[in-house]
């Protein structure tokens, strides 16, 4: 009896020790994840001379001055964060709307209607989900330049109409939670096919649409490869935020380190804040969709 | 009345709406993806720089893969061959160096987070924090790490290590061979382990809980549960992770491209994607479409081979088992028939 109790105590003690060790590991990982961003924010508030003289965990009082340098000093002539935010928002916003709407449309078509090419169409979408973007980019750019679409946002926005991964996700969602009887009921009531999609299916797909919209927005906002490929002449009022940040780091003339950190912070902090607000939603969405680029 | 209407509706064919609904997707996909893919294949048979209009057959492939040429590229072919092979090696090294620690860490975390016996406080918080690096713009991440790990004594990390007396001179985090590769591996791992962890977690939570309960009742240790239950059942998801990570690794671009000192890129971290971009985009007035396109085609085939290989590996085992079962069933049936036949006689 007592030995059994002892074994049990031993077991729970073991578990407790393991839990504590794991907790410490988690704390360490949290520090690894957050420390670079924390130092970034701290350095953005310090004077350049302080930044170069050592690491600090306490904020300075140089933030306003750094921002002043960032916006007014000729060293940062290429960095216009407001224009960058505007351009990124235009591209990411329209790309999100297009990709989510047309993916919902395609998925709806694949689920609701029974037609001859339904199987092959779905197989095609599954197959092309894995084709890497780099593989087509040479032919893509050459083709776009031929059409005179270099320096235009069209090649960045319109192709997002065809987003195989989002179609796949939406189709799964419709299959699992969209009763086809509703479509029939709508038909009996004299509702047109497209109107059924707009007024019945779309509202019912809201959860899936929300998740995919967040991911599509983030992916397009962070996109660096395609804008830097397509925007051939690098016109300043066309640059996106990631492009502006990359220009700062490759510019040797930038020697105000405090302001440099402020610039990088300006590109990171908004997206981190949005993430924190939507975090629960996003983390669940990753688990749902298996979204990975 | 209603049933008549219903019958009426059933007799109408709605198939054409299916085509209408999926039409925009396929139109756009063909225009912006399929044709560019074909175009890439076409361009891979044409020349480079000034000679972009000339048809040169398989010479780009010859140059990239063997360093030879029949159209007089000579020295260029040799140089391009060496660079290309090195970029392939770099891509592979950096991918392996980021994938192995990443999958180990993610798997361990996913198992711990889903273990109902362990009571870890603040699971939700940890998950949110660990996924966060994935959401940040890669360009900004590269800029951040470049500033923190700058090579002069002004870089925060070098500064810290030097003032602590650990090192005497700054470490070459950006231009050193293994230092820069290590940094890129670390950054990639830092950005992606949270994502992989959440995917594996959802996989583990989808497994049948009664299996774990049964194992617990039988007194299996957590190591045994992991090796005998979690890992085998998780194979399809692990495979999916492997394939997507592999394809992502082949395309690795943002961090390797941006992680450089000023404007000088070091040769140890140039990946295939960076190589492609440099040749068709950075040489812009006279782009080397041929080399880039040929490298893209090679990349395309590598992707297909790796992807199908991984999927075949996964399917074969299941299929072999099914085949075995079918055989056994057929045998049993035969034996039964024989037995019955025997009785009849």
- φ, ψ at B47 (rounded to 5°): -80, -175
CATH number of B205's domain: 1.10.3720.10
Residue B76 has a pLDDT of 82
Whether the pLDDT of residue A89 is over 60: the answer is yes
Do B33 and B182 share a domain, yes or no?
Answer: no
Residue with the larger pLDDT of the pair A188 and B322: A188
Is residue B145 assigned to a domain? Answer: yes
Q: Which of residues 144-163 of A touch B (CB under 8 A)?
A: 155, 158-159, 161-162
Residue B332: alpha-carbon gap to chain centroid: 45
ipTM entry = 0.88
Structure tokens at B23: 């039409």
- Least confident span in A103-107, A289-293, B108-112, B165-169: A289-293
Residue B26 has a pLDDT of 95
pLDDT digits (tens, 9 = 90+) for A240-253: 999 999 888 877 77
Structure tokens at B58: 């398989």
- Kindly state the helix (H) or strand (E) to which residue A84 belongs, with its residue range: helix A81-112
Domain boundary at B285, B306, B337, which?
B285
User: What share of chain A has pLDDT > 70, as a percent?
Assistant: 96
Sign of the torsion formed by the C-alpha atoms of B212, B214, B218 and B219: positive
Identify the band that residue A1 occupies on the pLDDT scale cut at 50, 70 and 90.
Answer: very low
Residue B245 has a pLDDT of 87
Q: ∠ at Cα A34 (B269, B119), nearest 5°? A: 115
Q: Which of residues 317-336 of B touch A (CB under 8 A)?
A: none
The CA distance from A166 to A161, in Å, is 10
Residues 6+ away with beta carbon under 8 Å from B336: none
- Check: CB of residue B157 under 8 Å from CB of residue B148: yes
Judged by a CB distance cut-off of 8 A, whether residue B131 touches chain A is yes
Whether the pLDDT of residue A134 is over 90: the answer is no
Domain boundary at B285, B313, B334, which?
B285
Judged by a CB distance cut-off of 8 A, whether residue B117 touches chain A is yes
- The yes/no answer on whether domain A78-251 falls in CATH 1.10.3720.10 is yes
Whether the pLDDT of residue A290 is over 60: the answer is no
The CA distance from B280 to A256, in Å, is 34
Do B118 and B32 share a domain, yes or no?
Answer: no
Q: Which of residues 87-146 of A touch B (CB under 8 A)?
A: 102-103, 105-106, 108-110, 112-118, 121, 125, 128, 130-143
Q: Break chain A down into helix, strand, coil percent, rounded to 5.
A: 80, 0, 20
A21, A139, A215, A288, best to mutate vs chain B, most B CBs in 10 Å: A139
Alpha-carbon dihedral A118, A124, A127, A128, rounded to 10 degrees:
-130
Is residue B112 assigned to a domain? Answer: yes
pLDDT digits (tens, 9 = 90+) for A2-37: 555 666 777 788 888 888 888 999 999 999 999 999
Once rounded to an integer, what is the mean pLDDT over residues A213-232?
91
Q: Which of residues 249-288 of A touch B (CB under 8 A)?
A: 249-252, 257, 260-261, 264, 267-268, 271-272, 275-276, 279-280, 282-283, 286-288
Do B155 and B210 share a domain, yes or no?
Answer: yes
- B160–A55 CB contact, under 8 Å: yes
Residue the block writes with tokens 């962890």: B197
Identify the band that residue A229 occupies on the pLDDT scale cut at 50, 70 and 90.
Answer: very high
The CA distance from B219 to B138, in Å, is 46
Do B123 and B237 share a domain, yes or no?
Answer: yes
- Check: CB of residue A61 under 8 Å from CB of residue A45: yes
Residue B188 has a pLDDT of 94
- A218–B135 CB contact, under 8 Å: yes
Query: Which residue pairs, CB below 8 angstroms and at least 24 apart, start in A148-151?
Result: A149/A230, A150/A230, A150/A231, A150/A232, A150/A233, A151/A230, A151/A231, A151/A232, A151/A233, A151/A235, A151/A238
Domain count, chain B: 2
The CA distance from A43 to A259, in Å, is 9
Do B24 and B116 share a domain, yes or no?
Answer: no
Q: Which of residues 201-220 of B touch A (CB under 8 A)?
A: 201-202
Residue B345 has a pLDDT of 37
- Check: CB of residue A66 under 8 Å from CB of residue A81: no
Task: Count other Cβ atoms within 10 Å, centred on residue B211.
Answer: 14
Query: Which member of B24, B126, B281 has the closest CB to residue A102?
Result: B24
Pairs of residues, one from chain A and one from chain B, whose beta carbons lie less than 8 Å apart: 305
Instruction: Name beta bridge partners: B55.
Output: B46
**Alpha-carbon distance A70 to nearest alpha carbon in chain B (angstroms):** 16
The CA distance from A37 to A55, in Å, is 13
Instruction: Name beta bridge partners: B46.
Output: B55
Residues 6+ away with beta carbon under 8 Å from B276: A134, A137, A138, B292, B295, B296, B299
Contact residues, chain B, for A282 at CB < 8 Å:
131, 135
Is residue B301 assigned to a domain? Answer: no
Residue-by-residue pLDDT tens, chain B, 345 positions:
456 666 665 567 888 899 999 999 999 999 999 999 999 999 999 988 888 788 888 888 988 998 888 777 777 888 899 999 999 999 999 999 999 999 999 999 999 988 877 777 888 899 999 999 999 999 999 999 988 898 877 788 888 888 888 888 888 888 888 999 999 999 999 999 999 998 898 888 888 889 888 998 998 888 888 899 898 888 888 888 888 888 888 888 999 999 988 778 888 999 999 999 999 888 888 888 999 999 999 999 988 888 787 777 766 666 667 777 777 777 777 777 666 544 443
Is residue B123 assigned to a domain? Answer: yes
Structure tokens at A12: 């729970």
Do B98 and B217 share a domain, yes or no?
Answer: yes
Domain boundary at B238, B258, B285, which?
B285
Residue B103 has a pLDDT of 94
Contact residues, chain B, for A289 at CB < 8 Å:
none
Judged by a CB distance cut-off of 8 A, whether residue B120 touches chain A is yes
Give the structural domain span for B223.
87-285
Do B92 and B226 share a domain, yes or no?
Answer: yes
Q: List the domain boundaries for chain A.
A: 2-74, 78-251
């Amino acid at each position: 009896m007592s030995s059994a109790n002892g074994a049990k105590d031993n077991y729970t003690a073991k578990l407790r020790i393991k839990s504590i060790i794991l907790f410490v590991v988690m704390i360490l990982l949290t520090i690894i994840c957050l420390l670079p961003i924390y130092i970034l924010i701290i350095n953005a508030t310090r004077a350049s001379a302080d930044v170069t003289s050592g690491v600090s965990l306490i904020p300075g009082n140089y933030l306003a001055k750094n921002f002043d340098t960032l916006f007014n000093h000729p060293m940062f002539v290429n960095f216009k964060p407001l224009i960058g935010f505007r351009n990124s928002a235009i591209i990411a916003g329209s790309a999100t709307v297009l990709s989510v709407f047309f993916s919902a449309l395609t998925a709806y078509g694949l689920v609701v209607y029974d037609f001859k090419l339904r199987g092959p169409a779905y197989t095609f979408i599954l197959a092309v989900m894995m084709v890497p973007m780099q593989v087509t980019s040479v032919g893509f750019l050459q083709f776009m330049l031929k059409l005179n679409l270099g320096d235009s946002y069209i090649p960045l926005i319109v192709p997002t109409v065809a987003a195989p991964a989002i179609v796949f996700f939406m189709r799964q969602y419709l299959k699992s939670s969209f009763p086809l009887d509703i479509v029939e009921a709508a038909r009996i009531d004299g509702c047109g096919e497209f109107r059924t999609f707009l007024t019945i299916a779309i509202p019912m797909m809201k959860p899936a649409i929300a998740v995919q919209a967040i991911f599509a927005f983030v992916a397009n906002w962070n996109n660096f490869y395609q804008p830097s490929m397509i925007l051939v002449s690098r016109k300043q009022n066309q640059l996106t935020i990631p492009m502006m940040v990359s220009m700062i780091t490759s510019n040797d003339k930038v020697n105000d380190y405090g302001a440099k950190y402020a610039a990088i912070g300006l590109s990171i902090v908004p997206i981190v804040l949005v993430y924190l607000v939507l975090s629960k939603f996003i983390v669940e969405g990753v688990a749902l969709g298996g979204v990975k680029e | 009345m209603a049933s008549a209407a219903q019958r009426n509706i059933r007799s109408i064919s709605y198939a054409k709406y299916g085509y209408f609904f999926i039409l925009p997707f396929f139109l756009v996909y063909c225009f912006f993806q399929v044709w560019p893919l074909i175009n890439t294949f076409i361009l891979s048979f044409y020349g480079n720089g000034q000679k972009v209009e000339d048809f040169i057959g398989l010479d780009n492939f010859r140059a990239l893969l063997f360093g030879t040429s029949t159209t007089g590229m000579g020295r260029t072919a040799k140089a391009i061959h060496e660079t290309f092979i090195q970029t392939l090696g770099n891509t592979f090294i950096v991918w392996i160096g980021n994938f192995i620690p990443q999958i180990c860490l993610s798997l361990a975390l996913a198992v711990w987070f889903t273990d109902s016996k362990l009571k870890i406080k603040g699971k939700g918080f940890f998950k949110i924090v660990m996924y966060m690096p994935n959401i940040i713009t890669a360009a900004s991440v590269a800029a951040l790490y470049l500033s923190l790990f700058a090579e002069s004594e002004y870089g925060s990390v070098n500064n810290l290590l030097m003032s602590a007396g650990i090192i005497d001179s700054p470490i070459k985090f950006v231009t050193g061979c293994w230092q820069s590769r290590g940094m890129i591996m670390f950054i990639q791992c830092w950005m992606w382990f949270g994502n992989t962890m959440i995917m594996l977690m959802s996989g583990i939570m989808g497994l049948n809980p009664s299996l774990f309960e049964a194992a617990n009742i039988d007194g299996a240790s957590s190591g045994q549960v992991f090796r005998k239950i979690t890992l085998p059942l998780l194979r399809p998801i692990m495979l999916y992770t492997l394939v997507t990570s592999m394809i992502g690794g082949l395309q690795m671009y943002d961090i390797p491209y941006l992680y450089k000192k000023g404007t000088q890129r070091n040769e140890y971290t140039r990946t295939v994607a960076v190589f492609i971009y440099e040749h068709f985009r950075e040489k812009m007035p006279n782009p080397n479409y041929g080399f880039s396109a040929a490298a893209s085609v090679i990349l395309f085939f590598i992707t297909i081979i790796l992807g199908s290989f991984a999927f075949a590996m996964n399917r074969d085992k299941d299929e072999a088992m099914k085949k075995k079962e079918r055989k056994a069933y057929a045998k049993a049936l035969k034996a039964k028939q024989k037995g019955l036949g025997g009785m009849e006689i």
